[in-house]
Amino acid sequence: METPTLTPPQKTTTATWLRSPQRIWLRRAIFQIHLWIGVIVSLYCIVIGLSGSALVFKEEIERATEPELYHVAPAPRQTTLDQAIRRIEAERPGWRVSGLENFEQPQTAVLALMGRKDTPPNANYRAVSFNPYTGAVLRDRMRFDGVLGWTSNLHFYLLAGKTGLLISGGMALGLLLLCVSGLILWWPGVQRWAAALILRLHRGGRRVNWKRLNWDLHSVLGFWSCVALLAVTFTGLYFCFPAPVGGVTVLVTGGSIHKALAEVEAPDRKPSPSTRPIMTVDEAVAVARKALPAEAPAGYMSLPHKPGAAYSVTGYYKGALPFSQLVRVSLDPRTGEVLGYTDTTHQMRGLRVIQYFYTVHFGSFGGDGALGLFIKILWFLLGLMPALLAVTGLIMYWNRKLRPLLRTLST
């Protein structure tokens, strides 16, 4: 009788993140989360990405299309700022100037920001640009008028005001989760990670079919744009929910939320009772020049209209990135006394990081030279990525889920 040959039991390979992540249950769960969040926010990704790309060069477009606002010829002054403001308000009944920009730039039009007297402030303010030497109005329109204004409204508020801002914040949170989960899902294992970095049109001497190409396009472009998309999405989320996102930033940078709130919310002193008349805008500007550092000239002024309100003037440090390093002073509207003084360059680390969120979000951190132009071009292309990833993702969803389902239902 022949004795049967015993074969040794086959060893089973344990699935690990390092070598075979596709076989791990957690990864499959993350894939489902990534899939359904992607389906939900796909339209938002297309809208926010394309509108963001258009706004990267917003300033350059405005300078090219409205050069008269950025190249004002210096001349003997025929009017003061205060007289120009009074004339502008008189010609626009029901409207009141609440703030000024560019009033310390000799070759740029002054921008008067106006709101209605009988309604609460809102994002769609009226913007009136005027010649600082003659007082002549050069442009008068609402913030969201025109193609660029409409695009800004779409990008920030989804054309729906505060409600749109909240919706945009929720969608941005979904996009943030997409970036994180997508980076996890990209990892193909230690043996194939290098190949997953490159988009290939041919494999094994044969042209890649369109389904595989769509998959690779989604995976490769998603990987290479992921870090930048995380930065843009996180900073965009801050504009929607500044308190929680700012708190996370402070904690991550090793700071204390309690101390950060104490710095940010430190109250200014109230104006002293006085029978003096309120200073004119020109007098307030003169006082602000003395209160601000010479290297941080005034760039914005908020006018006092409510009882107990003060002049608030913001100076931006020369050579700093847009809206990043600044000094704010609060002035007694009658005496000119400095009621509050904040220099953001002396704030705690987390608050200093938050200063750069605007310039990171819109890609203006490269400066005005060749480097700045290069980064803006990259940010313009980066804005196309959410739309491209949404389209390629939806195509995969159609191929894998919807198309087979429709075939099953039709039989």
Token couple for 24: 């791990």
- Per the listing, tokens 């690779």 go with 216
- State how far the Cα of 257 lies from the Cα of 244, in Å rounded to an integer: 10
Q: In Å, how far are 63, 70, 296, 361 from 74, measured between CA atoms?
A: 18, 12, 22, 34
User: For residues 297 and 313, what is the distance between their CA atoms, to the nearest angstrom?
Assistant: 10
The 8 Å CB, 24+ separation contacts for 155-158 are 155/48, 155/51, 155/52, 155/55, 156/123, 156/239, 157/123, 158/47
Distance of alpha carbon 96 from alpha carbon 309, whole angstroms: 15
3-state secondary structure of 124: coil
In this structure, of 239-253, 257-271, 304-318, 338-352, the range with the lowest mean pLDDT score is: 257-271
Go through 106-139 and write b for each residue having 16 or more CB atoms within 10 A of its CB, e for each that does not: eebbbbbbbbeeeeeeeeebbbbbbbbbebebbe
- Give the whole-angstrom CA distance, residue 366 versus residue 383: 17
In this structure, the number of other CB atoms found within 10 A of the CB of residue 162 comes to 10
Per residue in 158-201, pLDDT tens? 999 999 999 999 999 999 999 999 999 999 988 888 888 999 88
pLDDT at 6 over 60: no
Q: Mean pLDDT across the stretch 79-83?
A: 96
Cα–Cα distance between 390 and 387 in angstroms, integer? 5
> pTM, whole model, 2 decimals?
0.89
CB 99 within 8 A of CB 113: yes
pLDDT in tens, 239-267: 999 999 999 999 999 999 999 998 888 88
**Beta carbons of 55 and 362 less than 8 angstroms apart:** yes
CA distances from 250 to 260, 347, 371 (A): 7, 11, 29
Q: Does 4 have pLDDT greater than 90?
A: no
